[in-house]
Amino acid sequence: MMELDEPAAEFDEQDFIPISALEHYAYCARQAALIHVELVWDENLYTQRGQFVHELVDQPAGETLGVIRVEGSLPLCSRLWGLVG
């Protein structure tokens, strides 16, 4: 398994990459470019379903299920890795 090297320096906020862009790129590089570079987006049944599900988990709330703590809408940011989401 390949090891990740530490970044050379911290990133500035204007250079942050959205975590969603990484997810889109992992699925399809062309999709990531359309959405995050060319700003092209077309709603369809599947994207509408995804939007609905994400709205449910994007509510700032928390609950405990047994011994597991579940949080919603938890903002993440790493100046070291240049990621935000």
- Report long-range pairs for 22-25 (Cβ below 8 Å, ≥24 apart): 22/83
Query: Which pTM does this prediction carry?
Result: 0.64
| Six token digits for residue 49 | 């379903």
83: which residues sit within 8 A by CB, 6+ positions away?
Answer: 16, 17, 18, 19, 22, 76, 77
What is the model's pLDDT at position 67? 93
20-25 average pLDDT score: 91
- For the stretch 32-82, pLDDT in tens is 999 989 999 888 898 888 888 878 777 777 889 899 988 878 888 988 888
Give the pLDDT confidence of 4-16 residue by residue, as tens digits.
Answer: 666 656 788 888 9
Strands in the chain per DSSP E: 17-18, 62-65, 68-71, 77-78, 83-84
Question: What are the residue boundaries of the structural domains of the chain, listed by start?
Answer: 15-41+77-85
Determine the Cα–Cα distance for residues 67 and 28; give it in Å rounded to an integer: 36
Q: What pLDDT score does 18 carry?
A: 93
Say yes or no to pLDDT of 2 above 60.
Answer: no
